[in-house]
Chain A
Amino acid sequence: MASLDDLKKRITSVKSTQKITKAMKMVAAAKLRRAQESAEKGRPYSEKMNNVILNLSNGISDKENAPKLLSGTGQEKTHLCVVMTSDRGLCGGFNSNIIKKAKSYFAKILDEGKELKIITVGSKGNDQLKRVYGDKIIENISFKESKNVNYFDADKVGKMVIEKFEVGEFDVCTIFYNQFKNVITQIPQAQQIIPLNNEGEESSSEESYEFEPDEDEILSNLLPKNISTQIFKAMLENSASEQGSRMSAMDNATRNAGEMVDKLTIEYNRSRQAAITKELIEIISGAESL
């Protein structure tokens, strides 16, 4: 059995850990509220954007000559995967869930004999992926400096993706992120953004639009914006998920630390009593022998 001093030290150290995790939980809860708010505020934009594109692509007459961002390059040889993770750790299964989803997708692509390229957003994803897929990672972006998710960061990633698409570096682009459902549930998502996958979605209106200038020109102007918008949406969802995940992870850690303190305190008291009893026995038996 550990000595009384050792036990005491352990109890103090667990208690101070508990303080840290408790504070982190509070911070995450505050940040989560803000992140959730901005995720909700950002929704109308991406929904509207989606709607307009849906209406446009339904109205397009010449499907053969549609912009490549919409219809694809006609082949599926090279896949680009944008894996979006956080820059900080201690957020439960947040990063590993995305990585797991991404890895199973990578394996599928490689099995089919296709080429794979990876862009990682956020340093945690890069750390986990570079061990196995190091040679496949072509770019690594991190927004450690920006405090909040903002559109310009997303636009930067979007422009980079489009640039690579235009020089023919890849045919299909998929982004990986965590969709925020609630504090305990985040669903890892794989969303294909190039070519745009609209199948199954029906346009809400039968109405035909007037276009000025013509459909093609609007589409070719709109599609790159849509890429950035989708990435931005993913970033917002991701930041809300990260905080939610961190909050529940830290909540668990705090509770576990509490349990551990209880257990250690019982052990401490027990060995203290044992020591007292031992001393008493020694004194009594010493007195008896006199």
Chain B
Amino acid sequence: MSEEFKVEIVNPEKSFLVKDDVSEVVVPAFEGEMGILKDHISIISFLKPGIIKILSKSGDENFYVEDGIVEFKNNNLSILTSTIFNLSDMDKSKQQDLLKQAEEEANKTDINDQSKYLADQKVEVLKTLN
């Protein structure tokens, strides 16, 4: 029996990525990173800013996301997100731009705790990329 399952990433504009030979996906879930293997129990969770790692036979891919929802059911993993970038397409200047934006957001004083937390997360993740 193969140990592979299907993953689909969609953003509002289009279906971003479909892959059906995936062996493991690591997602930055809200309460910590979560690795998903085949025959995982059905789960719904949401994401915080971080890196999605997709491990598959045809090569590994990494994506940067800022938010999103994951749903896993019957060996189908759906990831809904509004902001996603493939790390291999992302050059330094793009990273710097995002980092600058995130830092600005994190330094605002009039935001509530949750958005402050999310902005801090963004900064942290983007810094580790550089």
**Residues of A participating in the B interface, judged by any CB pair closer than 8 Å:** 38, 41-42, 44-46, 48-49, 51-52, 55-56, 150-151, 154-155, 205, 207-213, 218, 221-222, 225, 229, 232
- Contact call B12/A48, Cβ cutoff below 8 A: no
- Contact call B14/A41, Cβ cutoff below 8 A: yes
Nearest B residue to A212, CB-CB: B45
- Contact call B15/A41, Cβ cutoff below 8 A: yes
Nearest A residue to B40, CB-CB: A210
Contact with A151, one of B13, B44, B46, B73 (Cβ below 8 angstroms)? B13
Q: Is B30 at the interface (CB under 8 A from chain A)?
A: yes
The CA-CA distance from A218 to B82 in the complex, in Å, is 16
Cβ–Cβ < 8 Å partners of B8 in chain A? 44
Cβ–Cβ < 8 Å partners of A46 in chain B? 12
Q: Is B86 at the interface (CB under 8 A from chain A)?
A: no
Nearest CB in chain B: distance from A256 CB, A: 38
Cβ–Cβ < 8 Å partners of B42 in chain A? 207-210
Would A42 and B14 be within 8 Å (CB), given that A48-B80, A218-B45 are in contact?
Answer: yes
- Contact call A48/B78, Cβ cutoff below 8 A: yes
Nearest A residue to B47, CB-CB: A221
- Contact call A151/B82, Cβ cutoff below 8 A: yes
- Contact call B12/A45, Cβ cutoff below 8 A: yes
Chain B window 35-71, contacts with chain A (Cβ cutoff 8 Å), 1 for yes, 0 for no: 0000001111110000000000000000000010101
Cβ–Cβ < 8 Å partners of A56 in chain B? 44
Cβ–Cβ < 8 Å partners of B14 in chain A? 38, 41-42
Nearest B residue to A148, CB-CB: B13
12 A-B pairs besides A42-B12, A212-B44 with CB distance below 8 A are A41-B15, A45-B11, A46-B12, A48-B71, A51-B71, A52-B78, A151-B11, A151-B82, A208-B42, A211-B43, A212-B31, A225-B67
- Contact call B31/A49, Cβ cutoff below 8 A: no
Q: Which of A150, A205, A209 has the most CB of B within 10 A?
A: A209
Would A151 and B12 be within 8 Å (CB), given that A205-B73, A212-B29, A212-B30 are in contact?
Answer: yes
Contact with B44, one of A154, A209, A232 (Cβ below 8 angstroms)? A209
The CA-CA distance from A232 to B82 in the complex, in Å, is 12
Contact with A38, one of B13, B41, B45, B46 (Cβ below 8 angstroms)? B13
In the complex, 7 of the A-B residue pairs with CB atoms within 8 angstroms, ordered by the A residue number, are A41-B13, A46-B12, A209-B42, A212-B29, A222-B69, A225-B67, A229-B12
The CA-CA distance from A57 to B55 in the complex, in Å, is 32
Would A218 and B44 be within 8 Å (CB), given that A44-B15, A52-B80, A212-B29 are in contact?
Answer: yes
The CA-CA distance from A150 to B29 in the complex, in Å, is 26
Nearest CB in chain A: distance from B87 CB, A: 21
Would A52 and B71 be within 8 Å (CB), given that A151-B82, A212-B31 are in contact?
Answer: yes
Nearest A residue to B71, CB-CB: A52
- Contact call A211/B15, Cβ cutoff below 8 A: no
Cβ–Cβ < 8 Å partners of A211 in chain B? 43-45
The CA-CA distance from A105 to B80 in the complex, in Å, is 34
- Contact call B82/A155, Cβ cutoff below 8 A: yes
- Contact call B46/A221, Cβ cutoff below 8 A: yes
Cβ–Cβ < 8 Å partners of B43 in chain A? 209-212
Cβ–Cβ < 8 Å partners of A52 in chain B? 44, 69, 71, 78, 80
Nearest CB in chain A: distance from B112 CB, A: 12
Nearest CB in chain B: distance from A167 CB, A: 15
The CA-CA distance from A17 to B52 in the complex, in Å, is 55
Q: Is B10 at the interface (CB under 8 A from chain A)?
A: yes
Cβ–Cβ < 8 Å partners of A212 in chain B? 29-31, 34, 43-45
